[in-house]
Structure 1
């Protein structure tokens, strides 16, 4: 194991100061500064740093993996680029992010070739989000029946939508699936002409006033449903937050996208073509390493209505069903695993070690033949690395074994040429915020931390300040929550 330092992103939408989970996992927090994202991976815009030894020697993770093949993927003779296929993040969201969707691989290749200024790579960008606190998000199109209920309860908006050519009856008469109304609204609102946007500029303040009036009148009555109430409240909130008077994003978000309020430990998966936006809360996110985003509003960033329209054709029932995610669990429930069978880029495990149950056995995380990144949240814990010998692995054919031995010989020769010296850790007292690179072939043993071992955590550790239960809003004060990211070897 080797310690990692993350890249920290101070985007304007992040939570300010020590109210941010990201800030509490950082060093040298500035109270007036927003802390939005913490990155652990090899992304070119925020590569993690490897701590090689106690002398303070460091190197970017991507270069470390290039120079040390045995710490990279064990996969025959494939070229080692140092690039991990996944990026592990922690997010602290205070303000809404853009409504966005991500292209599939085929479209990403096309967009990168045609518009590299907007699509800087040729990869897809599926994402899995695990809520650390109550987390609010928009994820996927809303079903027809709920979209109709929202519009019918807000007559002023319904009339305005008709003036831009949106007629529910005509759309439903054409057939389609149960998301046809929201899909068409998304197309119309994002592709709006200057004339249509001008109508929204004139009408938006009146719409906000009317929405507030409906909410006040319904406060002590049951004249509108909770679903409509939530939509109107969200619409008013988003209108006050948006900086552009021509942005139709608040209408799209509040009335035609699915509102999801995640409780701590809930998870959602966002596949290609699914419109979504994070609104508030803290989460752990794992995604394919990519920057490809097609935006549809809520922020002043570049939008791509034509591209989005084509992507919506592939956003239907199957994609919506995949959004709520249920993990597989170990027999004792101490380890849960989130993975998508069709996505090879990432897999996320979460292990829990409870300090109140000192008699329980340690949590064992089996070895994998791929590099992994580990992050500790909550209470400190002990982490021990055990390298699994070849004799304990399943038997391979003699031909496969010969190839692997030759490849291993080349790797060993390459590492001998590497002048950088590093000292892997075999056992570690891991505080909250500790991040580790795990070598392929390593089994992990997670156990309750013995405070007497705290000196095992080096003074040069990239971890945060000592654990304070009040900092971990949903992680029990006696619990260590350990996240382990890797590529999905099941795919």
Structure 2
């Protein structure tokens, strides 16, 4: 169980490994040991009250717990725990010795920062409909704000100069909105609703395109939003009562999600997003990769997510946070699409998702009782930084003479200067590391 203070039950082997980095004088750079992490839980209102506590084997906290953050993101960096219980901040360690923690290759590609953030998402209500910039857009937007002297905080359109591609692997069944429907399909679904407001949305879909239609909803006049949603509620009730929808599984699913979103976000025009965006259903073990420019919103379920370590999010709705319609239109990419994929087996124990994102890849390793599992080798002179997250069971991470036990809901950080890692125990482990290619 993760706690907010050192856990005296955690078993670690003696810190006696005296290997050094190649090229460093003997005795000056002892190799780092794998270390247990203490990770922050984010209390967003869309989170579950029980899912993260159930994974970690603890009592529920009494409030929503949406995300477990595992990494060095400046808003909530993880702590690394030594054998004596002393803790240090992972972000501080990366900053103090990036060569040892990140490795030469990662440092050359990304600078002195951990480029990925690993999470567990526990989704009870819909997240905001949102889109992320690509690398060029993020860098240019951030630089322009810096030059203009825009202070850090909510007023910034770009929180940092980095992109935020993301991959979610379903642990339970997950539903999401991701990517565009075809214009004829969206027009057909909007046609199921009646009234002048629905006609206005239909005209936007057929004459201006789906990005313009989504922006229309995002910027719907505040004084007319309640009337729009009232029209939606009436239209959905009539459509669901009709026999035609019963024979159309896709229309039924879209309208049912519109109905649920009205209950979760009353008064928000983006309750109509399921008519414009695809409803994606992931079975356990399926992954959803969302590149830049793709509108999306996770709706329900439990998943392990890895993303670029950025906070650049532009929202369209289903949120009380700020919506920026002009920037939304700039970032939406009509031709970009999400990808649903299974992991690719790389060993008898490990499958890997390696989407076209330079910041990350994700593996899932099943360790059986009595197994000694060596994760698949990574290319390059150094493996780069790695994070191992135990989702079920209990698994030991071994490197040289070091041994760290992680139980369900716990994670271990392994620096780039650790050559070989082995896993023993009985459990399911997710492995986060840097992407192979400099694709965007």
Fold agreement, TM-score > 0.5: yes
Q: Deviations over 1:274-306 (max 9, x none)?
A: 111111111111111111111001111100111
Contact 2:366 2:429 in 1 (8 A): yes
> Is 1:58–2:87 an aligned residue pair?
yes
Partner of 2:103, secondary structure, is coil
Pair 270,80 (structure 1): closer, same or farther in 2 beyond 3 Å = closer
Contact 1:296 1:308 in 2 (8 A): yes
Q: Deviations over 1:98-152 (max 9, x none)?
A: 1000111222233323365332211111111111111111111112232133123
> Is 1:336–2:351 an aligned residue pair?
yes
| Distance in 1 separating the partners of 2:263 and 2:414 | 45
> Is 1:484–2:410 an aligned residue pair?
no
1:184 to 208, 212, 217: 212
Structure number with greater Rg is 1
Q: Deviations over 1:252-278 (max 9, x none)?
A: x12001111111111111111111111
- Correspondence for 1:147: 186
| Distance in 2 separating the partners of 1:164 and 1:434 | 47
1:352 to 366, 369, 377: 366
Partner of 1:23, secondary structure, is helix
Q: Which runs of 5+ in 1 are unaligned?
A: 172-179, 387-424, 450-479
Alignment of 1:83-482 (within 5 A): 83-112=113-142, 113-114=144-145, 116=152, 117-118=155-156, 119-152=158-191, 154-156=192-194, 159-163=196-200, 166=203, 169-171=206-208, 180=209, 182-192=210-220, 194=221, 197-218=222-243, 223-243=246-266, 245=267, 247-251=268-272, 253-312=273-332, 314-316=333-335, 319-320=336-337, 322-332=338-348, 334-341=349-356, 343-355=357-369, 358=370, 362-366=373-377, 368-386=382-400, 426-440=402-416, 441-449=418-426, 480-482=427-429
Pair 140,78 (structure 1): closer, same or farther in 2 beyond 3 Å = closer
Partner of 1:147, secondary structure, is helix
- Correspondence for 2:75: 45
Q: CA deviation at 1:31?
A: 4.1
| Distance in 2 separating the partners of 1:104 and 1:222 | 38
Pair 31,369 (structure 1): closer, same or farther in 2 beyond 3 Å = closer
Partner of 2:322, secondary structure, is coil
Pair 169,9 (structure 1): closer, same or farther in 2 beyond 3 Å = closer
The RMSD of aligned alpha carbons is 2.6
Contact 2:39 2:69 in 1 (8 A): yes
Partner of 1:3, secondary structure, is strand
Greater shift after overlay, 366-375 or 276-285? 366-375
| Distance in 1 separating the partners of 2:125 and 2:260 | 10
Partner of 2:429, secondary structure, is strand
Contact 1:353 1:363 in 2 (8 A): no
> Is 1:34–2:68 an aligned residue pair?
no
Contact 1:12 1:36 in 2 (8 A): yes
Q: Which runs of 5+ in 2 are unaligned?
A: 1-33
Contact 2:56 2:410 in 1 (8 A): no
Contact 1:337 1:349 in 2 (8 A): yes
Q: How many corresponding residue pairs?
A: 391
Pair 371,255 (structure 1): closer, same or farther in 2 beyond 3 Å = same
Pair 335,213 (structure 1): closer, same or farther in 2 beyond 3 Å = same
